[in-house]
Amino acid sequence: MAIAAVSTSATQSMTGADRLCDALLAHDVDVCFANPGTSEMHFVAALDRQPRMRCILGLFEGVVTGAADGYARMRDKPAATLLHLGPGLANGLANMHNARRAHSPMINIVGDHAVEHLPLDSPLTSDIDSLARPMSRWVRRIGDPSRIDHDVAEAWAQSMAPGISTLILPADMAWNEHVYGSDLAHGKRLPQTPLEQETVARIGAAIRAKRKVVLLLTGAALRERPLWIADSIRRATGVEIYAQGTNGRIERGRGRAPIAKLPMTHDGGGALLRDTDMLVLIGAKEPVAFFAYPNRPGRLAPPSCEIVRLAGPDQDLVQALEWLADEAGAQVERISDVPAATAVPTSGGALSVDAVNRLVAARLPEQAIICDEALTSSGFFELSYDAPAHDYLQITGGAIGIGIPMAAGAAVACPGRKVINLQADGSGMYTVQGLWTHARENLDVLTIVFSNRSYATLWGEMSKVGAQTPGRNAQRMLQLDQPELGWTKLAAGLGVEASRVTTVSEFSRALDAALARRGPYLIEAMV
Amino acid sequence: MAIAAVSTSATQSMTGADRLCDALLAHDVDVCFANPGTSEMHFVAALDRQPRMRCILGLFEGVVTGAADGYARMRDKPAATLLHLGPGLANGLANMHNARRAHSPMINIVGDHAVEHLPLDSPLTSDIDSLARPMSRWVRRIGDPSRIDHDVAEAWAQSMAPGISTLILPADMAWNEHVYGSDLAHGKRLPQTPLEQETVARIGAAIRAKRKVVLLLTGAALRERPLWIADSIRRATGVEIYAQGTNGRIERGRGRAPIAKLPMTHDGGGALLRDTDMLVLIGAKEPVAFFAYPNRPGRLAPPSCEIVRLAGPDQDLVQALEWLADEAGAQVERISDVPAATAVPTSGGALSVDAVNRLVAARLPEQAIICDEALTSSGFFELSYDAPAHDYLQITGGAIGIGIPMAAGAAVACPGRKVINLQADGSGMYTVQGLWTHARENLDVLTIVFSNRSYATLWGEMSKVGAQTPGRNAQRMLQLDQPELGWTKLAAGLGVEASRVTTVSEFSRALDAALARRGPYLIEAMV
């Protein structure tokens, strides 16, 4: 990695923790989602000396890493996280998994015991390096205080590649003082692999030969401009375009080219791809089924389909689309040819998932940010192409419990914008503590809980495995009633105002009221 | 490992999941703490066909593994856990870390994608094996359906060694049918390393030479009989005895020999050991400081102290004490020579941590089980030697968030006994979802939350690192007010009745009422 030097104040003695903090700020990493412990207190003290760093507490580490993911998706740069030893890291891994699948940049600072203390195997000792690796792109244990700024520079560069960088900070590396020079290392972005013009030509030839070509997009290809490029290619040539099944962020709504997501099922995505001759991956992976089922193929494209990787997530996806538009002779125009959405009911009886999603889509504030962990209560995305312009963030890695934290991170990233989290109830429970962070930071987040009192996904799966009449054990593992979760009480206990609604009219009124105010609110929608 | 054959019904065709379930039951593993997902549905269906298996849902995996730990501590045998892929395992790791430090047996069943699906890297794919290893004694990926009962037999034997066994179950290993023979493999306990008589003689010689000898006990040495043996050695010879700083379970109260825990600090345990000539480890590890501090030694015993390992956690600790008693010529007698506890105030003004602990110790029901995650609100243990006979379980690995789950597991293990969880508020938030399991299973658990609205441990640590006046960032990371956590509302939202008390009188009345009822209850003690 190329590293440039940034001139700071004169040579001075400071702790490694202070140097680490300076180095993060030098890379414009100025938000730290934190759940610190004893071994990180010198770093906490260093953060305390740097008011430019905004420190945001999560009451559980899954909140911390999920918030860092939401922040990164909206800002295209990493936040820092501060995690306490192996168990603290472990608690944050599930949402790191989602961040990894969203290609989000993130820089984890994980405290560890002092170097001499580590072999004593005191109770909180664990193998942090091994725990970090599966979810990290890059892991380093800080071992030379004089190189801390270089470690941060590389952590930053690796995170922008993009991916998750984990820096393990032994306590003595934080507390020891050193005399540092006036230069501070600054990371440079890793060089991108160049695109291959011959791949573009190959795709162009297939299009001209009237073969059935499908473009599969994710990552930066799902922002406003590249989406219009892709849509223009579609209109000019007849190729089909889809977003990957799960994506970190889609710029969506009126003024943006509509795009469907390719369902990650054999009956869904597999059927759509049935006669495809060439599948072009633009940041995306080859589409596969989310889960395996007996006697069902895992790959969704037919065996005869040629799969062409035009660009990977570490390449320039916008340029890839521009080259392809040129090759295909497509003029880039912003022409939406989809019909307007159907009318929305605003009153009536029992509340349904569909009514919630339609009302939210219709009433969406301009430039809202949607976080979608609705799972079996989903349906918003299909309606949202015709909603006001917004950003759409979804669970990417299937590790449930991202919604509430991701909403927190998105709200920190974009203070002027309303964040709406569409939240399944079972999933919301994994990181319910994040509501407290909504309240503590007075974040402008509306959480809408689809309360169906079950792991509804799993009831569907139970029938697929041929269980006719689920017995006591299955019911005890899949039902969330007995007792019912009381989301308004949970929210109140965490400092967030809330209301429970059971009819369309009630939801409509509650939604209007929630959108008219700023700050955190929760609607428990009984569906 | 030696494996015996258990005869079952005749040869039959069944799924791997059914075989796995049968094999667990054959080892008397009949409780499964679960948080299943799609890839485990065939195993869920198999559990559903076996009413003998008690399946208990946790709404977060830290609840699942913490409950399995609490269960194992009280029953000296493993429960099974059911976890969903890498993220589900990751969420359970922190409390596995505590279980590992408590030497608790546990058998994790972690679902994974079908073998052919795994290389497709669908979104929920991660490196489960690597995630499992740091906290497991033994990890195996099931790869041969015909050997599932052997895999379970070995998992069981390894868990009884003791430790954590993790079995990774690919979905197709669960769903495929096989014809199984009528014999079911049964694990045999691993052979224990024999004790060394010459070590016993060496310790005896030191005692006779009037050297200062300290016995440090943990694990099975902290049950009623071995504690009396150790105490008898103490009375006969003048050796000092301590329990390790953290222990899985101590049999405690009237009728049991009182024992102090050796504090894991330089000023605490280090001072107590200052002139020790020989430190004898009986199941225990060499005592070290919980955390490192600049210019403080990590080892608590002085460098001149001879450290003798009489028995490790995998050896027969009771026999070790018996041999040592013989060697020292100590007659085993049950003579308590400590004074009775002081009187307990039952009325008065503002509630203090001390008042809560004194009242709980005084009112403790016979054969209660105490779970202690009070941290800075601790003090119960020191008072409890004179309380009615009870079991004392504490956080062992420093991974906060064990209290509520461990109480659930202990209550499942011992249905006739009152469980009282002494819970710090910040730590309780990590696995607050466990209260729902208390309600769902109608467990006889009283949770007493010490509400001090801060990470009080860390405020103490901040002053140690020399931060005079904490600024905004430190306050934002260490204070839990703004907003205050509302524990009665949280409990209500999770189906548990609760009350908030602010005075000694109120607490006294609430405690009496809570002890007079059965089933879950929570007292929020404002201290």
Residues B81 and B78: their CA atoms lie apart, in Å, by 9
Please determine, for residue A337, whether its predicted confidence score (pLDDT) is greater than 80: no
Confidence at A349, pLDDT banded by 50, 70, 90: confident
Among left, alpha and beta (phi > 0; psi -120 to 50; other), residue B275 is alpha
Nearest partner of B451 among B381, B375, B393, B337, judged by Cα: B375
Q: In whole angstroms, give the CA distance from residue A248 to residue A101.
A: 8
| Domain presence at residue A281 | yes
Domain that holds residue B288: 197-328
| Dihedrals phi, psi of A165, to nearest 5 degrees | -105, 135
Task: Tell me, yes or no, whether B335 lies in a domain.
Answer: no
CATH number of the domain to which B273 belongs: 3.40.50.1220
pLDDT tens, residue by residue, B67-103:
999 999 999 999 999 999 999 999 999 999 999 999 9
Chosen for mutation from B126, B177, B482, B484 (greatest number of chain A CBs closer than 10 Å) is B126
- What average pLDDT does range B238-261 have in this prediction? 97
- Does residue A498 share a domain with residue A405? yes
**E strand map for B233-277:** 240-243, 250-252, 260-261
Q: What is the mean pLDDT of chain A?
A: 94
pLDDT per residue as tens digits for the range A273-314: 999 999 999 999 999 999 999 999 999 999 999 999 999 999
Kindly indicate the confidence band of residue A8, based on its pLDDT and cuts at 50, 70 and 90.
low
Rounded to the nearest 5°, which phi and psi values hold at A21? Answer: -65, -45
Task: Assess whether pLDDT exceeds 70 at residue A4.
Answer: no
Give CA–CA dist B147/B153, Å, rounded.
10
For residue A467, the model assigns a pLDDT of: 65
Nearest by CB to B477, which of A34, A264, A467? A34
Instruction: Provide the CB-side half-sphere exposure for A366 (13 A, CA).
Output: 1
ipTM of model: 0.96
In a domain, A336, yes or no: no
Residue B391: closest CA among B513, B248, B244, B260: B248
Question: Which of B34, B49, B492 lies nearest to residue A486, judging by beta carbons?
Answer: B492
Q: Which residue has the tokens 């008011």?
A: A51
Q: Which pLDDT does position B469 carry in this prediction?
A: 79
Give the relative orientation of helices B16-26 and B41-48 as an angle to the nearest 10 degrees: 50
Which residues are bridge partners to A253 per DSSP?
Answer: none
Kindly state whether residues A158 and A267 are assigned to the same domain. Answer: no
Q: Which band of pLDDT confidence, cut at 50, 70 and 90, is reported for residue A2? A: very low
Nearest Cα to Cα of residue A85 among A43, A51, A46? A43
- The Cα–Cα gap between B4 and B189 comes to 11
- Surface-to-core class of residue A173, CB atoms within 10 Å of its CB (0-12 exposed, 13-18 middle, 19+ buried): buried
Helix (H, G, I), strand (E, B) or coil at B402: coil
d(CA B273, CA B239): 12
Judging contacts by C-beta atoms under 8 Å, the chain B residues touching residue A62 are 91
**Shortest CA distance from A96: residue in chain B:** B87
Kindly state the percentage of chain B with pLDDT values over 70. 97
Domain boundary among A328, A343, A366: A328
- Name the range with the highest mean pLDDT among A8-22, B34-48, B200-214: B200-214
Structural domain total, chain A: 3
pLDDT digits (tens, 9 = 90+) for A376-420: 999 999 999 999 999 999 999 999 999 999 999 999 999 999 999
From residue B59, alpha-carbon distances to A445, A452, B356 in Å are: 24, 15, 30
In this predicted model, what pLDDT tens digit does every residue of A130-147 receive, in sequence order?
999 999 999 999 999 999
Q: What is the pLDDT of residue B78?
A: 98
With a cut of 90, say whether residue A46 has pLDDT above it: yes
For A177-194, what is each residue's pLDDT tens digit?
A: 999 988 899 999 999 999
The last residue of one of the domains, among A152, A181, A210, is A181
A–B interface: beta-carbon pairs under 8 A: 334
Q: B10 in a domain, yes or no?
A: yes
- Same domain membership, residue B222 and residue B149: no
Q: Are residues B143 and B290 located together in one domain of the fold?
A: no
Residue A36: asked if its preceding bond is cis (omega within 30°), the reply is: no
What is the reported pTM?
Answer: 0.97
Q: In what order do the strands lie in the sheet with B80-84?
A: B54-57, B31-35, B80-84, B106-112, B164-170, B138-141
- Residue B140 inside a domain? The answer is yes
Distance CA B217, CA B239 (A): 13
Write the pLDDT tens digit of every residue in B375-405.
999 999 999 999 999 999 999 999 999 999 9
Residues in CB range of B196: below 8 A, 6 or more apart: none
Q: Which of A14, A473, A480, A497 to mutate to test the interface with B (most CBs of B within 10 A)?
A: A473
Q: By mean pLDDT, which of A509-523, B190-204, B463-477 is the weakest?
A: B463-477
Share of chain B above pLDDT 90, in %: 88
The closest of B272, B223, B216 to B246, measured between CA atoms, is B216
As a whole number, mean pLDDT of residues B339-362 equals 84
Same domain, B143 and B270: no
Q: What is the CATH number of the domain that holds A461?
A: 3.40.50.970
Residue A27 lies in a domain: yes
Chain A hits for B88, CB-CB cut-off 8 Å, are 94
Local confidence band at B5 (pLDDT 50, 70, 90 cut-offs): low
| Mean pLDDT of all residues in B273-294 | 97
User: A38, B478: Cβ pair inside 8 Å?
Assistant: no
- CB < 8 Å to A39, chain B: 291-292
- Do residue A205 and residue A151 come from a single domain? no
Q: What is residue B457's predicted lDDT score, i.e. its pLDDT?
A: 84
Share of chain A above pLDDT 70, in %: 97
Helix A456-464 / helix B41-48 crossing angle, nearest 10 deg: 80
Q: CA separation (Å) from A197 to A232, A320, B54?
A: 20, 9, 61
Q: Which of B53, B120, B129, B435 has the most A C-beta neighbours within 10 Å, making it the best mutation to test the interface with A?
A: B120
CA distance B341 to chain A (A): 31
Domain boundary residue among A293, A328, A363?
A: A328
C-alpha to C-alpha distance for B126 and B384, rounded to whole angstroms: 46
Q: Beta partners for A282?
A: A217, A311
Cα separation of A50 and B316, whole Å?
A: 54
pLDDT at A70: 98
**DSSP H or E segment with residue B170:** strand B164-170
Q: What is the pLDDT confidence band of residue B348, given thresholds at 50, 70 and 90?
A: confident
Q: Are B504 and B379 found together in one domain?
A: yes
Residues A55 and A156 in one domain: yes
**In chain B, helix, strand, coil percent, each to 5?**
40, 20, 35
B244 and A123 Cβ atoms separated by less than 8 Å: no
**A189: Cα separation from own chain's centroid:** 21
In this structure, are B251 and B368 located in the same domain?
Answer: no
Rounded to 5 degrees, what angle do the CA atoms A486, A491, A496 make? 155
Sheet architecture: strand order including A445-451: A250-252, A390-394, A368-373, A419-424, A445-451, A521-526, A498-501
Instruction: Provide CB contacts within 8 A for B99, sequence distance 6+.
Output: B65, B66, B68, B69, B72, B106, B164, B396, B397
Min Cα separation B403/chain A (Å): 15
Summarize the confidence of residues B274-278 as an average pLDDT: 97
Q: Return the structure tokens found at A175.
A: 């507390």
Per-residue model confidence (pLDDT) at position A3: 56
The pLDDT > 90 percentage for chain A reads 88
Query: Pairing state of beta strands A306-311 and A278-282?
Result: parallel
Question: pLDDT category, A470, cuts 50, 70, 90?
Answer: confident
Partners of A63 on chain B (C-beta within 8 Å) are none
Do both A370 and A307 map to the same domain?
Answer: no
Q: Establish if B159 belongs to a structural domain.
A: yes
Find, in chain A, the residue whose alpha carbon is nearest to that of B132.
Answer: A131
Residue B341 lies in a domain: no
Residues B176 and B243 in one domain: no
Same domain, B132 and B154: yes
